[in-house]
């Protein structure tokens, strides 16, 4: 019980803060709970199938295969694949972070992980259609063209700017999130 409380202390503190806001009579307290519940619903709807697919990918697809497709030497093919995977996504960007863990573990290169995140953030197809209908074709196309170029360039740039320390922190993050250890 104590362990659970410790694990979830942050959310408990946040709920307590918002409850006090509510009790003090601010409407924002209610709105905050409503928004949080709405987003939680969205996440709980989107996450289970994604995680099931990630789990299946983890046990069925060999690391060598992933490395060949999207690893350090996968070149244009790997990047194209990262672009396609990211744009086929659903859900907010923070739903993509757990996926990068499986990708990294399977040997997807850092550049392709960054491309995947970039594509997920701005190239989601339903979102593009919605942007087009609200802000017009000119705005959408200009942004789209620049974004595609920028995602590739920024991914390359950010990877180049990584220090030895960043690399270590990245591998440590993967290790820390490794759940296969706790399965045995």
Partner 1 sequence: MSAFNAVIYMIAVAAMVFSYSKDKKKTRTALKKAWKSIENILPAMLAVLMVIGITMAWISPAFISSLIGESSGIWGVLVASLLGSITLIPGFIAFPLASNLLKLNAGYTQMAAFISTLMMVGIITFPMEKKFLGTGLALKRNLAALIYSVLIAFVIGGLMIWLP
- 70, 85, 108, 117: which one contacts partner 1 (CB under 8 A)? 117
Question: Is there binding between residue 64 and partner 1 (CB under 8 A)?
Answer: no
Q: How far is the CB of 153 from partner 1 (least distance, A)?
A: 9
Question: How many C-beta atoms lie closer than 10 Å to residue 122's C-beta?
Answer: 20
Question: Is there binding between residue 107 and partner 1 (CB under 8 A)?
Answer: no
3-state secondary structure the chain: CHHHHHHCHHHHHHHHHHHHHHHCCCHHHHHHHHHHHHHHHHHHHHHHHHHHHHHHHHHHCCHHHHHHHHCCCCHHHHHHHHHHHHHCCCCCHHHCHHHHHHHHHCCCCHHHHHHHHHHHHHCCHHHHHHHHHHHCHHHHHHHHHHHHHHHHHHHHHHHHCCCHHHHHHHHHHHHHCCCHHHHC
**Is the Cβ of residue 36 or residue 80 nearer to partner 1 in the bound state?**
36
- 108, 110, 115, 152: which one contacts partner 1 (CB under 8 A)? 110
Show contacts with partner 1 in window 82-101 (CB under 8 A). Answer: 90, 92-94, 97-98, 100-101
Q: How far is the CB of 47 from partner 1 (least distance, A)?
A: 6
Q: How far is the CB of 93 from partner 1 (least distance, A)?
A: 6
**Is the Cβ of residue 42 or residue 80 nearer to partner 1 in the bound state?**
42
Show contacts with partner 1 in window 137-176 (CB under 8 A). Answer: 138-139, 142-143, 146, 150, 154, 157-158, 161-163, 165-166, 168-173, 176
């Amino acid at each position: 019980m104590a362990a659970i409380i410790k694990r979830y202390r942050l959310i408990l503190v946040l709920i307590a803060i918002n409850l006090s806001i509510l009790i003090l009579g601010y409407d924002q307290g209610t709105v905050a709970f409503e928004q949080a519940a709405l987003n939680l619903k969205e996440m709980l709807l989107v996450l289970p199938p994604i995680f099931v697919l990630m789990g299946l990918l983890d046990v069925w697809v060999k690391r060598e295969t992933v490395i060949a497709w999207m690893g350090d030497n996968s070149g244009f093919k790997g990047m194209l694949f990262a672009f396609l995977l990211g744009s086929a996504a659903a859900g907010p960007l923070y739903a993509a972070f757990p996926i990068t863990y499986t990708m990294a573990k399977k040997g997807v290169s850092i550049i392709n992980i960054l491309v995947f995140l970039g594509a997920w953030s701005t190239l989601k197809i339903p979102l593009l259609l919605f942007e087009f209908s609200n802000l017009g074709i000119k705005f959408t196309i200009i942004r789209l063209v620049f974004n595609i170029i920028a995602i590739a360039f920024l991914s390359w740039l950010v990877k180049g700017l990584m220090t030895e320390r960043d690399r270590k922190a990245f591998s440590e993050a993967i290790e820390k999130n490794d759940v296969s250890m706790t399965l045995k």
